[in-house]
Amino acid sequence: MNVYHLNHLFYIIQKNHIHNCYIEYTNHGGELGVLIYFQKPKT
């Protein structure tokens, strides 16, 4: 797993005109995380 600052990640997602995403919370033996699914719109 990797550590990312979610505020910065969501800023990048929004800046790239991605308005829909799906977030799935995870727990890997006590290590909490998220999976983020999104698709960049066609240009």
How high is the mean pLDDT in each 10-residue block of the chain (43 residues)?
A: 91 94 96 94 81
- Is residue 15 in some structural domain? yes
Q: What is the pLDDT of residue 43?
A: 74
CA distance 15 to 40: 11
- Give a yes or no: residue 29 inside a domain: yes
Q: Which domain holds residue 15?
A: 6-38
* 32 assigned to some structural domain: yes
Sign (positive or negative) of CA dihedral 34, 8, 10, 18: negative
Q: Using CA atoms, how far apart are residues 14 and 16, in angstroms rounded to an integer? A: 5
Number of domains in the chain: 1
Residue 1, domain member (yes or no) = no
Burial class (CB in 10 A: 0-12, 13-18, 19+), 32: exposed
